[in-house]
Amino acid sequence: MPPASPAARPDPVGLLLLLATVTGWGFNWPAMKLLLVEVPPFSMRVICALVGIGLLAAIARWRGESLAVPRGLWPRLIGASLLNVTAWMGLASFSLVWLAAGEATIVCYTMPVWASIFAWLVLGERLTARRLLALGVGLTGLAVLVLAQGVEAGMGKLPGVGFALTGAILFSLGTVVTKRWPLGLPPASSVIWQMGLGTLPLLLGALLVERPDFPAVTTQGWLLILYGGIGPLGLCYLAWFGTLRRLPASAAAAGTLLTPVVGVVSAALILGEPLGLREVLALSLTVSGVVLAVRG
């Protein structure tokens, strides 16, 4: 009998790209919290998005990717932009007004749990007992995060939890809808258009309700803006697309579980946020719920 073939090893480049993605996205939470001290939330997201769009446009031009959008694709592209960018970037960053960076990270990364529910509603995937258990475990993690410090303290966090949770739910809906009706655009082009269209409502909000004082932004603030645009909104998205090309989708999805861990730990190290029993238990329950959802 011929010898058994060795098990396929994970693509090392894919693993490095995945690590770069989750690290960049994780560190972005304390970075945004620091930047909010100098720039209000809508303006912060808009200016970081402009940096990211400029970088991705240069990369798309260098790679020869077309930015043309077929006429019939515009309604789908606008819908995806509102769910994946406007809701996510606007609501998630606004939640940081009430929540610590680590807390916002935990709430926002319940996304796969909600995606499993929308997959049942939109894609007709079977709603398994494991997915229902994932929802229960994830909600328990949120309850621990909000109520473990007492009802009064928890009530003060509710607006932030509401914004973060709504952003996570709408982003999850956008993910499932995009899977049901793919955009079919090249990676950089897809991100450029979604970020550009999705940022327009945030720009309107910034013009109507905010008065950012950009001349007063410190050197640290501008460095954080460059980081937010070049890293999480630029290179991390390209690294993520590269990850999906080189690794199985299940492995890539499991790897993103490191993002809230990086976010919580980096917020503790950089911002001095608490990392005690409440945070560890809430993070553990949330990650456990996400694992169940991904495997369900």
Q: What pLDDT shows up at residue 4?
A: 45
From the first residue on, what is the mean pLDDT of each consecutive set of 10 residues in the chain (296 residues)? Answer: 51 88 93 94 94 93 90 92 91 91 91 85 84 86 78 76 93 86 86 93 93 94 96 89 77 78 93 90 88 74
pTM: 0.86
Q: What pLDDT shows up at residue 153?
A: 61
Contacts of 54 (CB under 8 A, 6+ apart): 229
Q: What pLDDT shows up at residue 164?
A: 93
Q: How far apart are CA 260 and CA 240, in angstroms?
A: 16
Q: How far apart are CA 279 and CA 222, in angstroms?
A: 30
Q: What would the two tokens of residue 73 be?
A: 């694709």
What is the DSSP track for 173-197? HHHHHHHHS-----HHHHHHHHHHH
Q: What pLDDT shows up at residue 9?
A: 65
Q: What pLDDT shows up at residue 6?
A: 47
Q: What pLDDT shows up at residue 154?
A: 65
Q: What pLDDT shows up at residue 40?
A: 94
